[in-house]
């Protein structure tokens, strides 16, 4: 009789586990990064982890700003990109791809976010190409540009 109860308990436990389904793989952690646009700079963490990441953009300045997020080609630095731009060359020749663009008015947040899978050891660039007036320098030339190499 005792063996019968133990067998029944074991079968009941097995049925409960089977009803739960197979073990699901761990959900990867999604990083969230809030980027602030100032007049005329970006504030973002000094170090970023690789993997799935959501970027949000808020404009704490007094003029409209955009956040362009791009991946540079392997081995290209922010300094090299800026030198090419100052020489009047097309900066896109040094970029592997565009991650996205967010726009926010003064004191506002962008309506959406950018989702990227950050690659370890690769360099990403944040830039704003807006101008305050048609004759003014683009914000990127006023210092509104940042680069980060993702941790290994």
Please check whether residue 20 lies inside any domain of the structure: no
Domain count, the chain: 1
How much is the pTM?
A: 0.80
Please check whether residue 15 lies inside any domain of the structure: no
What integer pLDDT is reported at residue 24 of this predicted model? 54
What integer pLDDT is reported at residue 7 of this predicted model? 39
Please check whether residue 116 lies inside any domain of the structure: yes
Question: Domain range spanning residue 36?
Answer: 29-149
Residues 6+ apart with CB under 8 A from 96: 71, 72, 73, 74
Please check whether residue 7 lies inside any domain of the structure: no
What integer pLDDT is reported at residue 5 of this predicted model? 52
Please tell me which residue, 127 or 90, carries the higher pLDDT value: 127
What integer pLDDT is reported at residue 25 of this predicted model? 64
CATH code of the domain in which 52 resides: 2.60.40.420
pLDDT above 60 for 14 = no
Please check whether residue 23 lies inside any domain of the structure: no
Please check whether residue 43 lies inside any domain of the structure: yes
Please check whether residue 99 lies inside any domain of the structure: yes
pLDDT above 80 for 86 = yes
> Do 56 and 111 touch, CB atoms closer than 8 A?
no
Please tell me which residue, 16 or 29, carries the higher pLDDT value: 29
What residue ranges in 1-113 does DSSP mark as E strands?
31-38, 41-43, 51-59, 65-72, 95-104
């Amino acid at each position: 009789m005792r063996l019968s109860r133990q067998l029944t308990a074991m079968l009941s436990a097995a049925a409960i586990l089977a009803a739960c389904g197979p073990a699901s793989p761990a959900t990867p952690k999604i990083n969230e990064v809030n980027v602030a646009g100032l007049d005329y700079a970006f504030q973002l963490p000094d170090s970023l982890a690789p993997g799935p990441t959501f970027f949000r953009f808020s404009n704490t300045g007094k003029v409209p700003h955009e956040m362009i997020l791009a991946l540079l080609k392997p081995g290209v630095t922010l300094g090299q990109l800026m030198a090419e731009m100052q020489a009047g060359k097309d900066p896109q020749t040094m970029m592997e791809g565009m991650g996205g663009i967010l726009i926010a008015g003064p004191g506002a947040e962008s309506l959406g976010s950018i989702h990227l899978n950050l690659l370890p050891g690769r360099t990403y660039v944040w830039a704003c190409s807006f101008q305050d007036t048609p004759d003014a320098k683009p914000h990127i030339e006023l210092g509104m540009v940042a680069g980060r190499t993702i941790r290994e």
